[in-house]
Every structure is written in C-alpha cells, then in structure tokens.
Copies of this chain bind each other. A is one copy, B any other.
Amino acid sequence: MVIVMGPEATQDDVAAIVAVVQAAGVEAFVSRGVRRTIVGLVGDVAQLDQGNLRGMAGVRDVMRVSTPYKLVSRENHPERSTVHVGGVPIGPDTVTLIAGPCAVETPQQTLAAALMAKRAGATLLRGGAYKPRTSPYAFQGLGEAGLRILADVREETGLPIVTEVVDAHDVELVASYADMLQVGTRNAQNFALLQAVGAAGKPVMLKRGMNATIEEWLMAAEYIAQRGNLDIVLCERGIRTFETATRNTLDVSAVPVAQRLSHLPVIIDPSHSGGRRDLVLPLTRAAIAVGADGVIIDVHPAPETALCDGPQALVDSDLDVLADVLHTFPPLLGRAPAVAAVAP
C-alpha cells in the first residue's frame, strides 16, 4: 500500500500515519520530496483499512498495490487450473462446449435440446430449472421438477448437467441433482449464495456480474474458494454499457486479463451477452480465438415457443456451423477440438 500525503501535510501528520501503520505490524518507508511526501507500506497490510487511512489528516490518496484475493490468484498458483465436471475437463488444453436450453420446459424439449447440443460437440448440458427474471411476471422455472427432467436427460444422453441456483437454501437440493452449480450475473454479489455453493462440494460456474469489474469478479470467486472449493470456472457474459444494439457488451479482453490474474478457467457465454441469435456464432469464434477455455450456448428445438430468451437460441440449421467452428479453431490455439464424447 502507498500513502500519498498532500502538499499541506505536516511532519506530525506523517508521524501519525507511521505510528498507526507500525502499530499494525506493518513497515513504513517515508520518501520526503520538495512538494510531497510518500509513505510506502510493506508487510501484511490486509488488516489496515484503506478508507480509514484516507480519512487521516494530510492524506491525499491511498493506493493498494497487492491483489485483494489470494486463493484464486495466480501469484501463488502460477499453473492454470483444470476443473473437471462429471469427468469433463475445462481448462487450458481444451475448448469445452456447454449447450442446452435456457430454461427446462418439458422432458421432450429438454431431450431434443440435449441431442442438438451433442450434435454440435457439447460435452456438458446446460438448462435452467430456477430462473432469475427481472420481471416478476415472467416464467420463473419449473424448480425441482425441472431438475428431475435434467437428471433423466443426463441418464439418456450421458451429458453431465450444469444448472443455476438462485437461493442459498436451495443449494443442497440443486447440488443433489447437478454436476455443476451455476451462479448467475444477478447473484454475483449475493455473498450468502456464494458461500453456500462454496460449501456444496460441486464445481461452480460463476458468471461475471454485469456491473462487476474483473477484480470484483475474482473477489466473488474468493468467497467460494474460502469455503474450500477451488473447482470454480469463471464465465464472462457481457457487461452493462451505454450501447443498446446488444443486450450487454461482451468484454472479450476480460478473458486474457482474468487468466493472467487468476489460475481459474475462464469461459464465455455468447448467447446472453449479445442476446441475438445472429451474433452467437461470430462471438463464439471470437471467444475461442481470444483464448477462452470454453463456451456456453443456448440451443432450442423451437425457439419461437421458448418460455425464456428464445430469440438468442441457436436452431437446428446452426449446429453444423457451430460444430465446424469448434473443430477448426481450437487447434490453431494448441487446444484439442471439442468432440461429443459418445453417441446417445
């Protein structure tokens, strides 16, 4: 941490800072210039409150220089991690396709979507039984009935399932069905939920909050990690900006940035970020090209009847192109092509 004193700061102001800092067992190095004094802090600064230091007399600015997350940081864990979900790897050597319907509606629709996913090369099935919806009048998901449908479809297709949980107290139930728990963008700072999924013993996919900086996203992951769970996959899904042509603005730069700061795998959701079917394939190509460790994509057998986010779902006629992208792009980045594990 670095404390910058204002030009008006007195020697006593500096001495007061040094006293507070040293009382916390941290070393203080004072650099006194003609117009300005800088105090560099070295040691375990985690216990010093940056804000309170900023409130002391003569202080102009307080700057943090170390990361506020430890367990997910790459500083202490230089190798990038691979997370396994029902035996399927997500990590630096592969490009994993997770696909399926936005929401589980019926057994038929879910199975049809799962078979579509498989055809495109997916090795994991996505599908929501609990849906967080901005409008209270929108379809909220089937709940446990949806989880049972997902389990049946897993049985039939062999695809492990990824599904969202929206309430800390549903975690145990959802974890009893799911192979991976998803925390959505609206819950990216629902700390009770983060702690609950951290304790559930299942891999977690953590979507970036639509207003979260990359640093805040990693701090959210740290909440999960603190409960002993490091099987976390980060998912970039677009941030909120002034642009309205797309639902959110996909921040592809966040992938290499997060991969450099954290050892966790990072994937991209090209369906929810753009919110438009015609953008899904271009953004999928961009995702793989920028170095994402996987993509998660909505598919639907009949999107015009979908109860949720129909217009962004890929349809039958898109699948061969998607399969081709997943076959041809990853090798250019030294990764294995995504291939469907086994036929249904």
Contact B137 A166 (CB under 8 A): no
Contact A31 B33 (CB under 8 A): no
Within the complex, the shortest CB–CB distance from A44 to chain B, in Å, comes to 10
Chain B contacts for A136, CB-based, 8 A: 191, 219, 222-223, 226
In chain A, positions 30-46 with a C-beta closer than 8 Å to chain B are: 31-36, 38, 40, 42-43, 46
In chain A, positions 188-207 with a C-beta closer than 8 Å to chain B are: 189-193
A7 part of interface (Cβ distance < 8 Å): yes
Contact of A166 among B7, B46, B191, B254 (CB under 8 A): B191
Within the complex, the shortest CB–CB distance from A192 to chain B, in Å, comes to 4
Known: A54-B311, A256-B278, A328-B332. A7 touches B75 (CB 8 A): yes
Contact A134 B4 (CB under 8 A): no
Number of contact residues on A: which range applies?
A: 35 or more
A142 part of interface (Cβ distance < 8 Å): no
Known: A244-B244, A283-B253. A329 touches B289 (CB 8 A): yes
A29's closest neighbor in chain B, by CB?
Answer: B31
Mark A233-246 against chain B: 1 for CB-CB distance below 8 A, else 0. 00000011111111
Contact of A52 among B214, B242, B283, B311 (CB under 8 A): B311
Known: A36-B42, A52-B306, A192-B167. A257 touches B286 (CB 8 A): no
Contact B252 A243 (CB under 8 A): no
Chain B contacts for A228, CB-based, 8 A: none
Contact A211 B240 (CB under 8 A): yes
Chain B contacts for A306, CB-based, 8 A: 49, 51-52
Chain B contacts for A222, CB-based, 8 A: 135-136
Contact of A210 among B56, B167, B211, B254 (CB under 8 A): B211
5 sampled A-B residue pairs with Cβ under 8 A: A40-B40, A51-B312, A61-B65, A63-B63, A243-B254
Instruction: Report which A residues bind B (CB closer than 8 A).
Output: 2, 4, 7, 27, 29, 31-36, 38, 40, 42-43, 46, 49, 51-52, 54-56, 60-61, 63, 65-66, 68, 75, 132-137, 166-169, 186-187, 189-193, 209-211, 213-216, 219, 222-223, 226, 239-246, 249-257, 260, 273-274, 277-279, 282-283, 285-291, 303-307, 309-312, 328-329, 332-333
